[in-house]
């Protein structure tokens, strides 16, 4: 667990500006994006599709809210979920990698977390969110890279969801800008 609990309101109002920058950055690079969202239920994708020109870079999204959806839509292993839990680094990575494989997009991001109330565990309390980014390796055909980052937000259910969407877009933009 990170030692710092971030107030979800710290991300309030940032998602749309981040989405605009993601779309612009992908358009300049002529790359595409797909998403696999769980606790955000497509919210990050919604911010992206509000941007004029998003259709040139946005492939689409998998809203894999339930365990069954993660397994059937994007191919996350039931064993992986059982072993690590739905809100974990391995599952976030599997979601992003599954979306990359199924979409054919250049980049993907995934979001899985506990927005609350009444969910979570000792290892992943309410407000825990894992965000993963996956992308194609342009130098080696049929290879890709992936990375994941954990966030810990405090706030209401909807504040956590919006913060998670903004954090996903921020994490994605940071990775795009490093290429």
Q: What is the DSSP string of 17-62?
A: HHHHHHHHHHHHHT--EEEEESTTTTHHHHHHHTSTTGGGTEEEEE
Domain ranges of the chain: 6-177
Fold of 6-177: Maf protein (3.90.950)
pTM, rounded to two decimals: 0.93
Q: Tell me which DSSP letter residue 105 carries.
A: -
Q: What is the mean pLDDT of each run of 10 residues along the chain (179 residues)?
A: 70 93 97 97 97 98 97 97 96 98 96 89 88 85 85 94 97 92
Of 36, 46, 19, nearest to 103 (Cα)? 36
What CA–CA distance (Å, rounded) separates 97 from 152?
23
């Amino acid at each position: 667990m990170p030692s710092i609990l971030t107030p979800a309101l710290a991300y309030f109002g940032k998602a749309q500006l981040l989405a605009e920058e993601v779309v612009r950055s992908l358009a300049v690079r002529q790359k595409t994006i797909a998403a696999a969202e769980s606790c955000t239920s497509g919210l990050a994708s919604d911010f992206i599709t509000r941007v004029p020109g998003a259709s040139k870079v946005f492939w689409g999204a998998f809203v894999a809210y339930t365990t069954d959806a993660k397994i059937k839509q994007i191919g996350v292993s039931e064993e992986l979920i059982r072993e690590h839990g739905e809100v974990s680094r391995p599952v976030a990575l599997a979601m992003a990698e599954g979306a990359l494989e199924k979409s054919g997009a250049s980049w993907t991001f995934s979001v899985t977390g506990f927005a609350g109330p009444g969910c979570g565990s000792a290892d992943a309390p309410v407000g825990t969110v894992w965000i993963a980014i996956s992308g194609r390796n342009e130098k080696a055909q049929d290879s890709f890279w992936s990375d994941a980052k954990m966030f810990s937000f405090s706030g209401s259910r909807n504040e956590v969801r919006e913060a998670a969407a903004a954090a996903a877009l921020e994490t994605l933009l940071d990775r795009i800008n490093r290429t």
